[in-house]
Amino acid sequence: MFGIVSYGAYVPLYRLGWNEIAMAWGKTAPIGEKAVANYDEDSVTMGVEAGVNCIGPLDRREVDGLYLATTTAPYREKQASSMIAAALDLRDDIFTHDCANSIRAGTIAFRAALDAVQAGSAKKALVISSDCRIGAPKSGFERLFGDGAAALLLGSDNPAVTIEGSYSISSEFMDIWRTQEDTFPRSWEERFVITEGYLKTIRRGVSGIMKKYKLKAEDFTRVVMYGPDPGSHLKAAKSLGFNLKAQVQPPLFSSIGNTGSAFSLMMLVSALEEAKPGDSILFASYGDGCDTYILRVNENIENIRERKGVSHYLSLRKPLSSYERYLSFRDLVTKGSAAGASRSTFLPWLWRDRKQILSLYGSKCRGCSTIFFPIQRVCDECLKKDDFEEVRLSDKRGKVFTFNVDNLAPGPESPVVITIVDLQGGGRLRLEMTDCDPKEVKIGMDVELTFRKMHNAMGINHYFWKSRPLRGEKMAKSR
């Protein structure tokens, strides 16, 4: 049996109301909002978050492959999956692969990972889909696009969801595209794009799999189907004979937005959070064709209920204070350069200390168990030299020991909060805090660690870990 062993998702903290966007252009809009990645988030950092939530307590060393789907990778010539694998502290003898250039990339990566598991070249394969697309200001895409990520772990050992069938079609159709020089996606006239592109293709894909396996619309408990917008999604589902209230998985347009290559996978994760043993799910995506799958949920779904999925983040939101701040997050406004704000880089140092920078490894003294970061050869407590083991610190929580609010530091957000964090189990780190209101930071605050973008220098994105207020949970007391 092959299928989905675990799932996870990530949705950024901030939300931008549709009315905020409309008011900026002197218009009105219906009630709704979209998820907005912070200035230090991108498809890589969101992918790391979704991957962490998906793997959960499972052994990361058992993952044999990482398949990343995104249309917004930070580099046009460099893998993003290898960076995510390093941040997740996966083995270095795994297969990494980037799927790009289509909003169907999520299910393309899913198919590639599934084939690897079925062929025996991977016992467990992690699929991550993450996107942070930018809609042109004043365009329909500006309101429609949201940011987010989803992750699925595929394997053959006790899957919670098995794959009972698949069907794919390829379609050469220009609906939405973006060249290497474009910041914003382009599109042809909407009626042509929807009628000749989306509706015809999704109908062919869904009808094709039902014909192949001799199934009818009523044979499915839940239908998870990509849609470019609310109206087109409902029109497609209705035309295929599905019950809109009882069968069709509610899309996330008005709460998160269309998250590109991650959208169909995020909808699937949302459906799995509520799925029951025995449920049959029709899963369909779209983009340069259509991928469709028949999924069957079994009793193992109950073993992964604690995973952080879409529902975990829907209520954990913070309204973005202004449309102008959104423009600043996406670097769509010209900002003055502060003195001393220039950045440099040194690639040998980044390579030499990659385990500390990306995987956040510290040292634990074998003599007295004191934990240090960065790694140091001599223990300050018992003075033993070169007698330590390396330990991963990124999955630990902590409390703010002390902090500083810097109103003069250059950067996209001011003020900057610098925290000294005491981790559970030992270790003290100096970390910048993100996703926070500086006025609410206090000593003793519960925090968790999050992988974020620090700055760009010479065209190189520098990533490291930050602290952030614990989202929606209370931390257990340290023993």
186 and 37 fall within a common domain: yes
CA–CA separation, 295 vs 466, rounded Å? 38
Copy the structure tokens of residue 455. 């700055």
Nearest to 322 by CA among 8, 12, 14, 4: 14
Strands, E, within 70-147: which ranges?
95-99, 124-131
Distance between CA 210 and CA 212 in Å, rounded?
5
Q: What is the enclosing helix (H) or strand (E) of 406?
A: strand 397-406
- pLDDT by residue for the chain (479 residues), tens only, comes to 899 999 999 999 999 999 999 999 999 999 999 999 999 999 999 999 999 999 999 999 999 999 999 999 999 999 999 999 999 999 999 999 999 999 999 999 999 999 999 999 999 999 999 999 999 999 999 999 999 999 999 999 999 999 999 999 999 999 999 998 999 999 999 999 999 999 999 999 999 999 999 999 999 999 999 999 999 999 999 999 999 999 999 999 999 999 999 999 999 999 999 999 999 999 999 999 999 999 999 999 999 999 999 999 998 999 998 999 999 999 998 776 555 556 788 889 889 999 999 999 999 999 999 999 999 999 999 999 999 999 999 999 999 999 999 998 877 888 999 999 999 999 999 999 999 999 999 999 999 999 999 999 989 999 999 999 998 765 444 32
Phi, psi of 193 (to 5 degrees): -60, -45
Strands (E), 132-256: 148-155, 161-170, 176-177, 186-187, 222-225
Q: Tens digit of pLDDT for each residue in 380-407?
A: 999 999 999 999 999 999 999 999 999 9
DSSP code of residue 194: I
Residue in 314, 396, 304, 423 with CA at minimum distance from that of residue 56:
304
Residue 350 belongs to a domain? no
Kindly state whether residue 352 falls inside one of the protein's structural domains.
Answer: no
Q: Using CA of residue 176, residue 179, residue 185, residue 188, what is the dihedral sign? A: negative
| pTM (two decimals) | 0.95
- 418 forms beta bridges with 404, 432
Token duo for residue 129: 């889909």
What does the mean pLDDT of the chain come to?
Answer: 94
Rounded to the nearest 10 degrees, the angle between the axes of helix 200-212 and helix 230-239 is 40
Q: How far apart are the first and last CA of the chain?
A: 41
From 329, 357, 380, the end of a domain falls on: 329
Whether 300 is covered by a domain: the verdict is yes
Domain count, the chain: 2
Strand 388-392 vs strand 361-365: parallel, antiparallel, or unpaired?
A: antiparallel
Residue whose tokens read 């023993």: 479
For residue 330, what is the DSSP state? Answer: T
Q: Does any domain span residue 345?
A: no
414-419 LR contacts (CB < 8 Å, sep 24+): 417/441, 419/447, 419/467
Rounded to 5 degrees, what are φ and ψ at 196?
A: -85, -25
Query: 378 near 385, Cβ under 8 Å?
Result: yes
Residue 174 has a CB neighbour count (10 Å cut-off) of 12
Q: Would residue 346 count as lying in a domain?
A: no
Please tell me whether residues 324 and 410 are part of one structural domain. no
CATH number at residue 258: 3.40.47.10
**Structure token pair of residue 194:** 């929807």
The residues that bridge with 361 in the sheet, in sequence order, are 392
Domain region containing 466: 396-479
Helix (H) or strand (E) holding 297: strand 289-297
Domain boundary among 271, 296, 329: 329
Query: Is the same domain home to 290 and 431?
Result: no
In 3-state terms, what secondary structure has residue 183?
coil
Q: Which of 313, 329, 345 is the last residue of a domain?
A: 329
Residues 180 and 318 in one domain: yes
Residues 6+ apart with CB under 8 A from 146: 34, 35, 36, 252, 256, 257, 258, 259
Strand partners, 221: none
Same domain membership, residue 445 and residue 303 = no
Question: Which two three-digit tokens encode residue 128?
Answer: 């991550």
Assign residue 455 the CATH number of its domain.
Answer: 2.40.50
Is residue 391 within 8 Å of residue 371, measured between CB atoms? Answer: yes
